[in-house]
Structures are given as structure tokens and as C-alpha cells.
Amino acid sequence: MSLRLLRLVPALVLIAVTMALPPATASTSGDEFVAPTAEPPERPDARPPRNVTKYVSVGERAARIALQAVGVPYRWGGESPSSGFDCSGLVRWAYARVGIDVPHSSYALWATGRPVERTRLRAGDVLVFSGLGHVGLYLGRDRMVHAPYTGSTVEVVGLSSTSYGSRLAGARRVTPA
């Protein structure tokens, strides 16, 4: 084997090992999680591609979890599906399921995370309403999930189609520490 070829062997081995490894799943922004998922096929008879990854934010994961509580009765001070939820208890429970501790207080949630403009809302952003006495989790497409009041259950509502849209004081994006 020539000296020139021997010098190339380590580089070729490194390239081969790199190509054999799965794609990286870490995010540098700190607020995103990569979950493996299969994209829908282009044609009905086509197979989905393998090892396709989609970036799913922590907030989106929390919002999906909160949707599991739809129909659970409202209970003041509640933060579990077995005993019921109040608005901030629902937010606390959903974020706890993704490993983030947030306060069980709508006033304290107003100071959590970072502010988000209404035009830049993403799933999982905490919506805070006038008077700071009510919160919900944004789902996307102008909808939120929340625990509204005594005698009701956790529900999904549209912001524009209810009075909540006009009462929105602001939104906060919760990110991992």
C-alpha cells in the first residue's frame, strides 16, 4: 500500500463512521425537542421515509398533554386529572409532564418565561388575560385549551370566536432552564 493511500485511511474511516450514525437529535436553542416521526407519504401507495425527524418544542408537547385533560371538571386549586383543574393548575400539570416546573398562579405565570407578541404565538405559549386572573395554553390556529370556571370542564375554544380574544393581556413562552 502506498504512503499516500495510508494517509487517506483515517479520513475514510471517519467519513464511514459519520455516515453510519443516526442524525443528531440535540438542539442548541434549549427550548426544542426532536421526536422521531414519519412524514405522510407523497402518494397513497408510497412508503413513508425512514428516520425522518421533526422538531417539536417543549411548549407544543405541553399543549398536546393539556389536550388530554379536555372534559376534566374545573376545581379551584386543582392540578390533577383525577381531582380537577383550575386554569393555572392545568398549565402547571401540562408543563410538569414535560419536566418543567411552573407556578400554580396566574399572576406568577405572567412573570414566567419571556413575553411573546400575539402575532408570534406558538403552541404551548401561556395566554394571560386582563386582570391577570385567568390563563390558558395556546394550541395554534387561534385556539386555546383552558379550565374556565366553576361548574365547567377543561375545554378548547377559539380566541376570535369568544370574548377571550379581546381580553388577552399578553402571552409568555416557557422554556427549559
Q: Supply 149's cell numbers.
A: 370556571
| Selected catalytic residue, list 58, 65, 87, 102 | 87
Closest CA to 123 of 38, 55, 27: 55
Beta bridge partners of 32: 57
Element (H, E) at 64: helix 58-67
Q: Please, are residues 101 and 110 in contact by the beta-carbon 8 Å criterion?
A: no
| Selected catalytic residue, list 61, 92, 104, 146 | 146
Active site residue 104: no
Active site residue 146: yes
| Selected catalytic residue, list 61, 64, 104, 134 | 134
Element (H, E) at 62: helix 58-67
Which positions are catalytic?
Answer: 87, 134, 146
